[in-house]
Amino acid sequence: MISIRSEKNNVTAASAIKKVFIWDLDETIIIFHSLLTGAYAETYQKDAQSTVNLGLRMEDMIFNLADTHLFFNDLEECDQVHIEDVASKDTGQELHNYNFSADGFSAPAQQGALNKAAVGGAAWFRKLAFRYRRIREIYTACADNVNKLLGPQKYQSWVELRNEVDSMTDNWLGLSMQALQLITSARTVLTSW
């Protein structure tokens, strides 16, 4: 899940620093794993096949989104602690017509023995920075409009899945959304998550 907040320390809104928090969904949202494995059904006396099917649908939707829009295959093995770690490598090149799939970038694990030297080089970090900037652009454009990102058909599938998961988990998603709203409305940024 990606969340963005402005940190305001006696500055005007125009000069507020924006922070982007990226959580690794398959490690952070425990409900996903427990649905997928059937552990949720066992613990809360729910229908095991139904919970596993919900988990599989979530998995498909998450990986489809990550692969399609967030460069999951490219970034999965990149060991960047923070999106800003490579911002200084970004040349500001226009990305509207940039062909990410043909720029020769690959994650460290995908590099062959002869190409290991390319990982960590200036061109590799520049391409990595382009991907992070594109993720930020996508988030900025779609943060409040998931329909714009997914399109009408996938959006409707997402809404249906959310409702089914919320129903199956006794309002787990609703409570999670309330927690996230509290976090995003807080005036200060918590640094020890």
Catalytic center residues:
24, 26
CB contact set of 135 (below 8 Å; sequence gap of 6+): 2, 69, 70, 71, 83
Cα gap 163→174, rounded to integer Å? 9
- Please name the helix (run of DSSP H) or strand (run of DSSP E) that holds residue 61, with its range, or none: helix 48-69
Structure tokens at 13: 């809104």
Whether the Cβ atoms of residue 139 and residue 65 lie closer than 8 Å to each other: no
* C-beta separation of 101 from 77 below 8 A: no
Is 7 in contact with 188 (CB distance < 8 Å)? yes
Q: List the one residue out of 102, 95, 88 whose CA is nearest residue 80.
A: 88
Exposure string over 50-69, b if 16+ CB within 10 A, otherwise e: ebbebbebbbebbeebbeee
